[in-house]
Amino acid sequence: MATLNGNSPSEAPLVIVVGAGLGGLSAAVAIALTGHYRVLVLEAASRLGEIGAGIQLSSNCSKLLIRWGCAKYLEPNVVAPHRGRVCRWQDGEILTERIMNPAAEEKFGAPYWHIHRADLHQGLLDRARQLGVELRTSTPVAKVRTGDDETSPGVILESGETLECRFVVGADGIHSKIRTTLFPGFEKPRPTGDLAYRFRVATADMLDDEILKPLAETPDTHSWWGPGKHIVGYMLRGKQMYNVITLFPDDGSLGDATRGTGTSDHLKEIYDGWCPKVTRLIEKAQESQLIKWKLMDLPPLEKWNVGRCVLLGDACHPMLPYLAQGSCSAMEDAAFLAECLKHLPDQLEIAADIYSRYRKPRATKIQMFSRDQRARNHLPDGPEQRERDAVLKNPDQQTRAHVWTWDAADGSPAGDWVTGLHGYDAEHEAVKAIRSEGLALSKI
């Protein structure tokens, strides 16, 4: 680790990251890479190892992982999809198709990747350990202290122990204790009205099946959109595994819980009457794997910082999964924050404030886009759906009619949404933000 102002690594100021999910570990890696700080990650769970299934990583995120030196840990397990297709639920008609790779690299300077969540988590963990990040598991944090003129920031553990530090990052997920301490009156997460099932099928099994074979031959992403629900499939782990995510209306079967087991019969019932590829995929789902998730949401916070403490990832902006941007946004947060901490090591409150003010509008916009996308994916059959499908089938109309654009702050023409989403570079944006505040960049 490099040193700051002549400090040896053991004397470098300490940053505590609460939560070792994808957001927390990304923050740990990015902050350790500044060379200015020691990083300690506190995780409530006794064991690390992310459950879950596939994660789609667009170029806005893969470019950061590559810069952070994570590629060598991840590449053996990533799949770079060729095409992204949207299909109609009933007959599987392809409504639109977009080239994903190599176009992502050509347009946005980094690939589009699919990866198993556990592989991404392990890759970040390996890189964090290599950079000297310290990790304590079985360490639930109860509260945070944001620091003022008299006291330094720190965290109070559920055991009662207090750990002091120079800066705190709350990456403790949607049910964040750090958020509750910083903004006690703020709303609690609420159900979106949708549930998800995720499961995996071995591609070897699919290659033996005439209906599923085309899905297992080329690494494309398929989304089938239907009334009130949709389903997405793509390959993972060196194309050995096919990952399926299904989203459908909450039938109340989980009660107050946010996660539970499901049954094959339930899944079959939900997608009864869908096209043969979907129904055959569902027949292949193993009941032992069927975890049911309740999708939760939170309205945007007013800000993400108090004193020398900030929130990051799902703790401040949980994303509905309709745009597959939750982890990507958490990594953008991590990269932006690390640049602020790197360039403003003696003005950490200002660094926290810049991070919150400049990152929040983008994250809020993606949250809103994700909600719109839910409605768009799930249109009931009828005039609006036919209009949507006609636009999807006609690339010229897609460009003209597209619903979302990004406002360019400098007055240049607003970009289309894919460019805005995948072309963003969180580190460059942080440097621009610091400069636009009239502050000098660190020379170290």
Ligand X SMILES: Cc1cc2nc3c(=O)[nH]c(=O)nc-3n(C[C@H](O)[C@H](O)[C@H](O)COP(=O)(O)OP(=O)(O)OC[C@H]3O[C@@H](n4cnc5c(N)ncnc54)[C@H](O)[C@@H]3O)c2cc1C
Residues in touch with ligand X (CB under 6 A): 18-24, 42-45, 55-56, 140-141, 171-173, 177, 196, 198, 245, 293, 295, 313-315, 319, 321, 324-328, 330
Residue 392 CB, nearest approach to ligand X (Å): 21
Closest CA to 335 of 10, 70, 54: 70
Tokens (6 digits) for 328: 């990507």
259 close to 195: Cβ distance less than 8 angstroms: no
The rounded distance, in Å, linking the Cα atoms of 284 and 291 is 15
Residue 295 CB, nearest approach to ligand X (Å): 6
Question: Is 21 or 420 the residue whose CB approaches ligand X more closely?
Answer: 21
Residue 273 CB, nearest approach to ligand X (Å): 23
27 close to 332: Cβ distance less than 8 angstroms: no
Residue 191 CB, nearest approach to ligand X (Å): 12
The rounded distance, in Å, linking the Cα atoms of 259 and 244 is 17
Neighbours of 127 (CB within 10 A): 24
Q: Is 2 exposed, middle or buried (0-12, 13-18, 19+ CB in 10 A)?
A: exposed
The rounded distance, in Å, linking the Cα atoms of 134 and 296 is 31
Residue 320 CB, nearest approach to ligand X (Å): 8
Question: Is 170 or 345 the residue whose CB approaches ligand X more closely?
Answer: 170
H helix runs in 234-325, sequence order: 264-270, 276-284
Question: Is 37 or 199 the residue whose CB approaches ligand X more closely?
Answer: 199
Question: Is 49 or 238 the residue whose CB approaches ligand X more closely?
Answer: 49
DSSP letters spanning 125-183: HHHHHHTT-EEESS--EEEEE---SSS--EEEETTS-EEE-SEEEE---TT-HHHHHHS
Question: Is 307 or 321 the residue whose CB approaches ligand X more closely?
Answer: 321
The rounded distance, in Å, linking the Cα atoms of 224 and 245 is 11
DSSP letters spanning 90-126: TT--EEEEEE-TTHHHHHHSS--EEEEHHHHHHHHHH
Residue 218 CB, nearest approach to ligand X (Å): 19
Question: Is 18 or 430 the residue whose CB approaches ligand X more closely?
Answer: 18
Residue 103 CB, nearest approach to ligand X (Å): 19
Neighbours of 206 (CB within 10 A): 22
Q: What crossing angle do the helices spanning 117-130 and 22-33 adopt, rounded to 10°? A: 30
Residue 145 CB, nearest approach to ligand X (Å): 14
Residue 141 CB, nearest approach to ligand X (Å): 4
Question: Is 296 or 439 the residue whose CB approaches ligand X more closely?
Answer: 296
Question: Is 197 or 391 the residue whose CB approaches ligand X more closely?
Answer: 197
Question: Is 20 or 430 the residue whose CB approaches ligand X more closely?
Answer: 20
Closest CA to 114 of 285, 327, 278, 293: 327
